[in-house]
Amino acid sequence: MFYVLDTMLALPTVVIAIAVLAFWTLIALAVHRIIVPALCGPDGRRLGKFEAEVTSQIALAFGLLISFNAVWIWDRIDRVQGAVYNEAAALSRLVDEAEVLSDKQSGDEIRRAIADYTTHLVRSEWPTLQDSSTDRARPAALGMLSSIVRAKGTDVMEADIEAAQAARDVRIRDGLVHMPMPRWSVVTALAILLLISIGALHGDAPQGRKLALSLVTLAVTFCFVVLFANARPFVGEYAIKPTDLENVLFRAMADQ
């Protein structure tokens, strides 16, 4: 299920918006032409007066849940973005310390190991973040870098490697987490209930019902597009790029 979702999220945002709008338009049409007439009768008066407070309560529940999920998504993106920055910063400090190491040959060897590890991150590991196939185990290139630093580096350099590895763990752990399907299901169910409630509220006024359903459909579409556009930190047009790590790779390979 999540593979299908990731495939959809990888599409351009405009395509996602059109698909989401088409889906909710079909739901709204079903509400207008099938569900409301079945509930309220051909003349829309079977239920009598439908109170607007019911619609307000459903809209409030929908808005609160959308906000809750949006905050969860954005907070995770901030954590992942911070982890990427911390990972690159730790490796950048490692390059700085290798450049000023008293033993130039050891410093050059450490820089080559940093370049090998960063190359692995940028060219091998980063693409796997898009399909959640990333190997969470410590890469061989990181093990090699750690061994060289322990043998020829300093305690500060070892601390930087530990910081880089901790940031990598956060990047992978939080970056590959999907919003649980029950959350998507509940938000979708509330949106459908909201459309039905809006339709019933205007059961005896077909033209007003069309306008109300159209406006609510657009609002629901906007909410879902926002969630989809940011649902996965490493998928889609707004995916996090390894720019900071590429800068570290450029520095580590300079003058080699």
**Does residue 56 sit within a domain?**
yes
Single pTM value for the model = 0.85
Question: pLDDT tens digit string along 150-195?
Answer: 998 889 999 999 999 999 999 999 999 888 888 899 999 999 999 9
> Cα(134)–Cα(128) distance, rounded to whole angstroms?
5
On whether residue 242 sits in a domain, the answer given is yes
Q: What is the pLDDT at residue 212?
A: 92
Is 46 part of any domain? Answer: no
Q: Could you say which residues of the chain have pLDDT below 70?
A: 1-4, 44, 46-48, 50, 255-256
Q: Who's near 25: CB < 8 A, 6+ residues apart?
A: 217
How many separate domains does the chain show?
1
* Residue 241 within a domain: yes
Structural domain for 133, as ranges: 11-38+51-253
Residue 171 lies in a domain: yes
Kindly state whether residue 151 falls inside one of the protein's structural domains: yes
pLDDT of 93 reads: 95
- Per-residue model confidence (pLDDT) at position 12: 87
2 lies in a domain? no
The confidence score (pLDDT) of residue 146 equals 93
